[in-house]
Amino acid sequence: MRDMSRRGLLGLGAGASAAAALTVAGCSTGSGGGGNKTPGGGPATQQAKARPIGDGSTADTGPQPGQPDKPEKLELGQKPPQFVVFSWDGAGEVGNGLFPRFRKIAKDHGASMTFFLSGIYCLPESKKNLYRPPNNPVGASDIGYLTDGHIKDTLRNVREAWLEGHEIGTHFNGHFCAGSGSVGQWTPAQWRSEIDQAMSFVTKWRTNTGFTDLEPLPFDYQKELIGGRTPCLLGQDNLLPTAKQLGWRYDASSPGGLQVWPTKKQGIWDLPLQQVPFPGHSFEVLSMDYNMLANQSKNATQGPTARYPEWRREATGAYIKGFERAYETNRAPLFIGNHFEQWNGGIYMDAVEEAIKHIADDKRKDVRLVSFRQLVDWLDAQDPQVLASLRGLGVGQKFGG
């Protein structure tokens, strides 16, 4: 298996101060409801004949299956559903079975998710000179290129994920987090170059790989792509003007967000990772697997195995306590970020699975496990006065209290 661990990730050790622990970030690889809890979908639901786009790497197959009904508008004072978004950075399948594992979990629990695909995961290493990253050498990348077999596995899983109702966003390309080439120093024009290249790698994989034994991705990526998450949560300020120019509707790159209702930046929904309770610690942690790792094993991706059971309980508890705090109080949407990694023996993958099972409990009919696209569809359908009222609720402030 190709090593997909990230270099140059931001992180703090277990002894970090509370203030610092709140901002650390890492990246890798019902009533008033916005939809139902049963995601239809799958290849069998595709009725329209595919219309190839470009070289046939992608195709227009009609409306996406498995989408919720038209969002209902809340009345002022009406309690909103509890939205939860599980998202995945990189979204590559490298033989560890994590992409299909979580597609199945999502199907089992009526969840839609967002997969932020790294564009170079569709580009063979033999063609890496096609990638010209801003402020970095031609072909450079701080994440590994995939083998041809793993590119095929990734394309198959991305295809099936979309047909099952999930969103395909972007994690851009080379994941540069440090030094003079860091994405944190890119200009709006350089972000445009990076996005254009990611778009090209996804929509021209057939030309670049020569693969003839795969079906096209069943969507027009120019229309599908409405948001992303930057590497290491860096560079949002200069990304946003370009994102707005491209017609994007949200960005999920902010670090250190709170569990409150979101606002817009430069006309785009700002959907940040959030500070959630961290069992066993005196501070809160960002709602991402890597940030828990950074505070447990001090950035080491494989810490002492004797600590794994304890750390697994802490990670699971963080997701669940973050959910319960929102659900029982202000109903702010909960955003959770993850990577398809086996860090610390895979405990964070187990924690995500347990959290999904807990959150999707059938006793709670007003919970929506949605993609970022589905969430912004709901937000955009609401009366501004209603959203302003929801934004007036602080962390842990009870709705109607």
In a domain, 317, yes or no: yes
Q: Which residue range forms the structural domain that includes residue 253?
A: 18-391
In a domain, 87, yes or no: yes
Examine the pLDDT at 270 and tell me if it is beyond 50: yes
Q: What φ, ψ does residue 76 adopt, rounded to 5°? A: -60, 125
Q: Give the pLDDT confidence score for residue 34 in this predicted structure.
A: 41
Separation CA 299–CA 15 (nearest Å): 12
Q: Give the pLDDT confidence score for residue 255 in this predicted structure.
A: 86
Separation CA 45–CA 64 (nearest Å): 9
In a domain, 355, yes or no: yes
Q: Give the pLDDT confidence score for residue 48 in this predicted structure.
A: 57
pTM, whole model, 2 decimals? 0.90
In a domain, 7, yes or no: no
Q: Give the pLDDT confidence score for residue 22 in this predicted structure.
A: 36
Helices marked H in 172-271:
188-203, 205-209, 221-224, 236-245
Separation CA 334–CA 201 (nearest Å): 31
Tokens at 341, concatenated: 């990694």
Examine the pLDDT at 194 and tell me if it is beyond 70: yes
In a domain, 12, yes or no: no
Mean pLDDT of the residues in the chain:
90
Strand partners, 117: 90, 170
Q: How many domains does the chain have?
A: 1
In a domain, 399, yes or no: no
In a domain, 243, yes or no: yes
**pLDDT band with cut points at 50, 70 and 90 for residue 301:** very high
In a domain, 397, yes or no: no
**pLDDT band with cut points at 50, 70 and 90 for residue 399:** confident
Separation CA 129–CA 241 (nearest Å): 28
CATH of the domain at 300: 3.20.20.370
